[in-house]
């Protein structure tokens, strides 16, 4: 119902990649590294992201430190046509607008239920034109998901709902012992992302390696590499400057 309620974007036959972390981990700005890596490899990934709901910054807040994120559909298609990717604020696109209304209720009450979260994430992926989506579920003592058993149950829900709406998903469980990167908040997180993309020696290793891992899973999911072969492609795109470009 949420998919049918608003606009839908299309970017051709695909594969059209997407990713999403369920959030709750400060500094987890992997999207801003994964997207340019995939774009450098010719994988189309029109990424729509949210602003902060229950954390100091969302991906859209951090990306806004570097570029305009409130892209209307026409401009978003221009960016994707030129670069193969984008990182835009989903709230400007009328994608699953019922979700945005629910989020405005959830934010001040600090509510983030699992069922609503799954509906929110997958409806946004489907309406953004994705055919293949990676879902990152951080698991740790202060994360939204605290145990492996809870994570597996949530992953099963993601897979079941995605199957019903004809969306291919790969769900990964990642260890989250604390914040990722050096800085928390939009500006500092943007500096961390740029340090990784510039391959600076003091760039946060945890942010770099998690981004490479997530990128590798998407590369393999869309068929650009055999299982186990995606990491080398992602690393080459990062180390040779293609992702930064």
Q: Which tens digit of pLDDT belongs to each residue from 51-98? A: 887 678 899 999 999 999 999 999 999 999 999 999 999 888 888 888
- Active-site residue among 61, 99, 100, 112? 112
Q: Give start and end residues of each alpha helix (H) in 186-240.
A: 186-197, 205-221, 230-239
Residue 54: what pLDDT? Answer: 67
Spatial neighbors of 92 by CB under 8 A, at least 6 apart, are 69, 70, 71, 72
Encode burial over 5-20: b for 16+ CB neighbours within 10 A, e otherwise. Answer: ebeebebeeebbbbbb
pLDDT at 239: 98
Active site residue 112: yes
Q: Within a 10 A sphere around the Cβ of 120, how many other Cβ atoms?
A: 24
Give the C-alpha separation, 57 to 29, whole Å: 9
pLDDT of residue 107: 77
Q: Torsion angle, CA of 32/34/39/42, rounded to 10 degrees?
A: -170
- Whole-prediction pTM value? 0.93
């Amino acid at each position: 119902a949420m998919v049918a309620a608003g606009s839908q974007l299309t970017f051709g036959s695909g594969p059209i990649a997407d990713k999403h972390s369920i959030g709750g981990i400060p500094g987890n700005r992997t999207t801003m590294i994964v997207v340019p890596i995939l774009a450098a490899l010719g994988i189309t990934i029109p990424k729509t992201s949210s602003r902060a709901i229950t954390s100091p910054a969302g991906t859209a807040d951090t990306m806004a430190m570097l570029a305009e994120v409130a892209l209307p559909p026409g401009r978003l298609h221009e960016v994707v046509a030129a670069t193969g990717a984008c990182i835009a604020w989903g709230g400007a696109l009328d994608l699953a607008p019922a979700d945005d209304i629910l989020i405005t209720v959830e934010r001040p009450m600090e509510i983030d239920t699992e069922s609503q979260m799954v509906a929110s994430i997958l409806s946004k992926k489907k309406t953004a034109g994705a055919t293949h989506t990676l879902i990152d579920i951080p698991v740790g003592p202060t994360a939204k998901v605290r145990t492996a058993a809870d994570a597996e149950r949530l992953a099963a829900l993601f897979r079941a709902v995605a199957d019903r709406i004809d969306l291919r998903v790969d769900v990964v469980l990642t260890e989250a012992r604390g914040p990722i990167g050096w800085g928390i908040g939009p500006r500092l997180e943007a500096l961390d992302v740029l340090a990784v993309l510039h391959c600076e020696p003091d760039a946060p290793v945890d942010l770099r390696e998690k981004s490479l891992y997530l990128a590798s899973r998407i590369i393999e999911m869309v068929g650009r590499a055999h299982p186990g072969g995606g990491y080398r492609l992602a690393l080459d795109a990062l180390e040779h400057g293609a992702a930064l470009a």
